[in-house]
Structures are given as C-alpha cells and as structure tokens.
Structure 1
C-alpha cells in the first residue's frame, strides 16, 4: 500500500470486497531501461509494440504490480537471458517488451504481442540463470503459440453460448448445467495451454544451452514458497479442476519427463554464481513506499501507522490496499481515503460508498486515542464489519468480510481494529527495507548460523526461509565456497 493510499477514491463500493481473496495469477515482465544486447534478437525494454491487447493492458499491469522496478544488475541478467532464449525459440523473429515489476509477489506472465513480465520477487526466488530462463521460456511459449488471442476468442464464444442458453432455456437447472459445462471446457482449454507452454519452454531452454531440469526445480521452489507465504504447513495438493494452471505436483512431474527426453541430469548451464551476483543489493519484500509486512503486522513508516492481524491470518501488501485472509473464508481489506476537515466519520460512513449498510449498527468510539466509527453491512450473502479511524485529514478503513459471521469473526474484527496505532519516532526510525545480500559459505557455516544473520522475519522461521530461497532441502548439504542469499535490512 503506497504512501499516497489516502488518495483512494472514497466512493469505491463495499461490494467489491467479496473479491478480496482473488489475486492476479499467471505468467508476466518489463523495465524502462534501454539495455544493449550483443546479438540481433529483437529484445528490448520499454519500446513500442503494435499489439493492441498488450499495449492496452500494459499500463494497468504495471500499476497493479507497483510500477517498474529499476535495477541494473537484474535488467542485465534478464536481457542477456531473453536474448539467448529468443534465438532458440520457435519464432526467433518475435519481438519482446520485457518489464521487471516492482512487486514482492512471485509471478510472471505474458500478454499478446510479446509483452513479458516478471516480478522482482520471482527473480529473488530463482537461484541460477537456468531457473529464471525456465520461467521466461514458458512465458515466451505463450506468445509464440498465440495463447492470449486464442483464450480471448474462446472466452467470447463461451460467454455468447451462455447468453444464448440463458435466453432460450426456461429450466434454471439446465441453464446452470450448461454454463458449468462451458466453464469446465474453458478451464480444460487453459490448462492445455499451460502444459503446452511447459513443453515448449523446456525444449527452448535446452536449445539455448540451459539446464532443462531447471523448470521442474523452480516449480518446486514456487510451490514451497507459496506454502510458506500463506503459512500453510500442509498445503492441499488436490487439483483444482477450474484452476487456470494445472496443480504444481503434476506440472513438476511433466517437466521432469520433458527434460528426461532431452538427456540425463547434469546437462546444460545453471550459472548460479553469476546470476546471484546480479541480485546482490536487490530490494526484497515490500517497497518502503508501500509500507512493510513484518510477520502478522503491517507498518508504514511514512504514514506513521501500524496494525496487527490475528494468528492464522496471512497479510499481503498491494499498491492499492493491504489484504489479509485466514484461509477459511474471512478476508480483510485495509486502505485509506481523504476526509474533509468539516466532515465527521459518522457523516462519511453515510456518503454512499457502502452497499447494504445497516443504519442502526453505526457506533462512535475511539481506537488508541483516535476517533473511530464501526458499522455492519450485509450484501449479496456476505457480512461485513467496517471500522473507520481518523488521523488528521485521512480516514483509514478496515473492512472484514465473511459468509459465516460467527463469534470468531466478530472477535477477529475487534482484535484487528484495536491494534491500529500510531508508530513512535523510534519505531519509524527502525523500519528499513529488506534487501538480498549474497555471501560465500565458509567451512564453519551452518544453516542455522546463516539464518541468524537474516532480518525481517520471525526468528523461528528464518531457517525455513533461508532454505527456501536458496533451494535447500532437509537433505541438502552446504558447500564451502558456494554463493547463498541472505535477507537483511
């Protein structure tokens, strides 16, 4: 959530919060630095493109992911790798616009016309050039196979078919079955696209001279990181039939099979030390302008505020708002809006930005010395608890949503709201951004000794994070002289 969060439009309706748990997912990359390449492959950063879909969506993508991340080392590593992949791809004439997004999320995706996107969070998770190349080659496969255009045509056909059925069939059960059938067909289509991109990507990876097993290796790291970030010790491995992507274990197995058709493990470049050297000093986690997530707390240095969510909730900081979920159907949105000097919180809550507001539920209170108002809203089967806290000319808004308003839901809301506070000057001074530091392993180093040098995460989880970001497992052995990543402030 950016420093300017208080400029959020005050009339955004509360019904939007039912989508709190939905996150952008897929495959994406761009940067606004011009990087010279030592080949003729048409790779460029922030150039022009004739792809109307990509050009139209590009500004929205960049805004949604916190803007463009500028880092010379990361840009050089990406540009060099894309150059090799283009030359080895199924369409070497395809031009690409590559963007590195300023987001800690681990994500990459592609838009029609050669728009490729990768987050700095993904670059930080990768442990060598071949792993980064595996992601990029997968996304390039979506472009060369024209998956974006094909998906759009299929979605339009599905929407039209659903509309025709709805207009003609009188039986609601038949309508529902027909619409569900078309949705399953679309899901199978997009899953087939992902698997095709996996296959093409591994082959391209190998032709470019990289380790073809890197695709499976990085898919496993992504799965582990997802479990870590969402605080799930036992993630459900069951496939989600309507998921855009096939479930990770299935993709890993297929990626390994594809690699085995090329050769035995040990072939191709990995280029670990060179890649990690480019990451040294790169921002990790939240951008300071958007505040910091530290464990279960959100802290914003510039705004001087903070709050904490209950145990079991996982926080996500986005450019638009801070989101949280308990993984059981309860979701939180926190943002801010401008407030007129003469306007009270009671007046503000009645200005029409909340659908289903229960008028007699509005209560005036205080939160740690700051004026506040709470209320309840009911809309489309959802129950909402709203908390507004005023600090100067800004109103900070907590919106907790659930379909099951149990006593636990109400107590969670109270715990979150009452945790909101102003940070002391000392707390603000201590808040510093995290970055990636690359170090060499010495003979006396252990996982726990190296983990103790890390910051920004609870001590009990440092060893787990160290192993995760360095591709380590319970059976891995530290190798003297090997480069590893530490997260420090």
Structure 2
C-alpha cells in the first residue's frame, strides 16, 4: 500500500464496509490461497475449444496478475529453487507434453495459483514459509493438476451457467422467498463444485509428487504450516474453525485428510526426498515481508521510508499491509483502514471531510485539529449498522486517512482511535535512514540452541510474538531443542 506516489480517492466508508470488491482477475485466476474464493475462466468445455484458447487467456491475463501482485520477483536463488523441481514434476504429471510458464510474484502473501495455458504463479511469501524442496514441489504439483484437469475452463463454464440461472430466477420468479432459496442452493452447488476441484487437485498433486521422487507427505505438512500462519496473522484467535460452505476452498482439516490419505496409499512416512538444507540455502537472503515501495510493518507500527511517515496501533491489533491500504483489526471487532488521497482541490480539510466521500457523516462531529504539528480533521459517521471514526492528516497535497469501524463502539473504541492518530508523525532523516528491508537469514543450529533463544534475534516482529513466529516459520515445536546442525530461518533487517 501507499507506494511513493499516493493513489487518489481509494474508496469510501460505504464501499469499505460492504467489502464488495470483485475484480476482473477473480474471473480468471484459479487461486489456491488458504482463505478466500477463486473462480476461473473459459467459455466452453474441453473438447470444443478452438486451438490455443487456454493459452490466449493465460497470455492476456498474465500482465494483470503480475501488476496486481507487485511485479515479478527476481532472485537467482529463489528462481533456482523453483526451477529445480519443475522438470521432474512435468515428467511425472498426467500430461508430460504440457508446457508451463512459472512466475515468482513480489508479494508477501502466502499464495499460488494457475491460469489456463500453463501459467503458474507462486509468491515469494509462500517460498519463505516453505522449509524444503518437497513442500515447494507439493504446491507446484497441485497447481499443475489444475492445468492438466482443465479446472480453469470447467469453472468458467459453471460460473456462466450459474450467472444465467440467477438472472432467470431474479427476473422471472415472482415469489421472493422461493427465489432466495433457489439462489442459495445455486451458490452452494457452485461452491461445492470448486471445492471438489481443489480436493481433486490435492490428490493428483500428491500422486505426482511421489512419482517425481519427493516426500508425498509434504503436501499435508505445508497445509498445516499455512493454517498455523493464517491463525498467527488473525487478530481473533477464538474465531470459529468451522468450514465456510460458500467458500470455493474446502476446510483445511478436510484437505489435510485427503492429503494424508493419498500419501499413505503410496507408503509410510519417511519416503521421498525433502532436501531442506539445499532449499534453505537457495532462499537465504530473500526479501521477506513488505516491498520497500509499499512501506513496512514493524510489529504494531507502519513506517514508510519514501513518504517519510509512520504510525502505531494499540496493543491487541494486528497490522496488514495490502496493495489498497494498510489494514488492522483486533479480537473485539474493531477494524482500521489507513490510506491516502489527493486533497489539493480543497481549501480546508473540513471542506474535504464534507465533500461526500463519507456516507452517513455526522456534520456536527467534524472538528479541525493538529496532530504532531500537522493540520488535521476528525469526524464520525454511522451507516448500515457501523459506527465510524475518521481522521485526515494533511502533508502537502496528500490527505492521510484513518478510518475506524465498529458495530459496538465504546470508550475503548474512541481511545484506540485517538491513540492511533496521535501516533502519526513525519519520520526524521535518521529514522528513515535506519529503515531497511527484512530478509531471510539461514543459520545452522549450534549446541544449546532452542527456538526461544534463536527467536530473540528476529526483527520486524513484536517481542511477545517472536517465538510463535519462529516456530511457524521453521515448522518446529517451540518447546523442543533444535538438533545441532539443523538449518533454520531467521528474519532480520
């Protein structure tokens, strides 16, 4: 978020609260991230395709994918780590004649997905979480399975049929209750269709993984790591683990069962190649976390070197730096959005606050203020059952916007809002000079090393969360000694 040139007018209170962002990419990407939906494209079923339609779709959408995920990540070691497994997997796949174009994306997200025509993508965030070659191979084998099984084309055909059925239901059926029931049934059917594809790709991927000589249990191992990392990133640790039946991806426990069952059909644990030392050696020094152009999350602080700004959120909040905005939430239902907008057309911040970009604004709540010597304005809004606190701080032509949201506002909500905006400041030249990117550093465990001891040296993580982070990143128990000579990852600046 917030590249050196700030984007203009990045949304309104209403659009954010509704979270109705469905982009063109959602129509074409068969996403395999741990959480979220993913539909893919195509207009006809396999067997009736014109020549190279799948390849044309992939080639058309490839630039959009790269732009959405921060560009292509260039790192010789990471590229070798991915390339080293591709040939073996292709030879072991259900269609060895299929060619692939694999791209490492410059994103800290844990994600991998496929486009029609053999376009495969893996993020550097996923490579950082993996602990050996077999885990990367498991991800790529899964994505190759989507391609060889023509899942992208099949999903699109199903999506078009669903869209047409929904239109007929809403346009023709007069009984609104019957129409609603039919729409829900259609949505469940479509979601389950996508889930079946994911489970099919899991099973095919494990089979391909083993045939290529890799540890078939790597798929289950990496699914567990992804689930642990997703939980680590969640502010609400007590959130329900029940599956979302409208999700295109099955629940992690279900996928784990399939992955373990498929591996057991091949052999007992301990078979196949893992190659931990070589893999970790290849990603040693790789960029970790946010790209410098989008600012840094350091514990509970967001800092942007190029823009020279920073702020902190109260204890209990977890920050996330996304391409659209910096987001934060806590376990009590409060959400925060921070972004930037061009305010050069407005003579005052009060005029900007009342210019219509906030739905449900309470005009009497708008107040001019000063925050660490910078002109600002605060206000409140109520819309669609949400209460908002808004602040805009001006530096030059840019208005930096804080939006707090809660369905149950209380004194703590207001206190957290005030504490956060009061922390906003311009960084000193010294503070900007000290800001450096985080990197993966691989070391070998020495006698007496424990997860707690090594976690102390981690950067960019709150001290209270370092042990948990280290354990998840290295797939190690936090309470067991580390065998001497084991390669482990640290995150340092």
> TM above 0.5, one fold?
yes
1:95-152, CA deviations, whole angstroms, 9 ceiling, x for partnerless residues?
A: 2221111111111111222221111111011000000111111111111111122112
Q: Which residue of 1 aligns with 2:31?
A: 26
1:123 alignment partner, one of 122, 127, 131 = 127
User: Which runs of 5 or more residues in structure 2 are unaligned?
Assistant: 34-51
Q: Which residue of 1 aligns with 2:3?
A: 3
Q: How many residues align?
A: 469
1:388–1:396 Cα contact (<8 Å) kept? yes
Deviation at 1:453, TM superposition (A): 2.0
Using the alignment, how far apart are the partners of 1:153 and 1:382 within structure 2? 38
Deviation at 1:417, TM superposition (A): 2.0
1:195-237, CA deviations, whole angstroms, 9 ceiling, x for partnerless residues?
A: 0010011001011110000000010111111111224545532
1:49–1:55 Cα contact (<8 Å) kept? no
2:113–2:121 Cα contact (<8 Å) kept? yes
Root-mean-square deviation over aligned CA pairs: 2.4
Q: Which residue of 2 aligns with 1:435?
A: 439
1:132-186, CA deviations, whole angstroms, 9 ceiling, x for partnerless residues?
A: 1111111111111111221122122112111111122222221211111111111
Change in Cα spacing, 1:470 to 1:415, as seen in structure 2 (3 Å) is same
Q: Which residue of 2 aligns with 1:468?
A: 472
Change in Cα spacing, 1:134 to 1:294, as seen in structure 2 (3 Å) is same
Deviation at 1:405, TM superposition (A): 4.2
Q: Which residue of 1 aligns with 2:369?
A: 365
Deviation at 1:22, TM superposition (A): 7.8
**364-373 vs 260-269, which moves further:** 364-373
Deviation at 1:351, TM superposition (A): 3.7
2:450–2:480 Cα contact (<8 Å) kept? no
Q: Tell me the TM-score normalised to structure 1 length.
A: 0.89
1:387–1:399 Cα contact (<8 Å) kept? yes
1:96 alignment partner, one of 94, 100, 104 = 100
SS of 1:151's partner is helix
Change in Cα spacing, 1:241 to 1:465, as seen in structure 2 (3 Å) is same
1:325-374, CA deviations, whole angstroms, 9 ceiling, x for partnerless residues?
A: 22554322211122327632122234443344444432221222211112
Asked whether 1:315 is paired with 2:293, we answer no
Change in Cα spacing, 1:382 to 1:157, as seen in structure 2 (3 Å) is farther
1:153 alignment partner, one of 148, 151, 157 = 157
Using the alignment, how far apart are the partners of 2:213 and 2:489 within structure 1? 25
1:32-88, CA deviations, whole angstroms, 9 ceiling, x for partnerless residues?
A: xxxxxxxxxxxxxxxx99634333332332222222211111011112212221111
Q: Tell me the TM-score normalised to structure 2 length.
A: 0.89
Q: Which residue of 1 aligns with 2:217?
A: 213
**123-132 vs 412-421, which moves further:** 412-421
2:272 alignment partner, one of 237, 251, 268 = 268
Deviation at 1:278, TM superposition (A): 0.6
Using the alignment, how far apart are the partners of 2:68 and 2:243 within structure 1? 28
Deviation at 1:380, TM superposition (A): 4.3
2:288 alignment partner, one of 279, 284, 287 = 284
**185-194 vs 412-421, which moves further:** 412-421
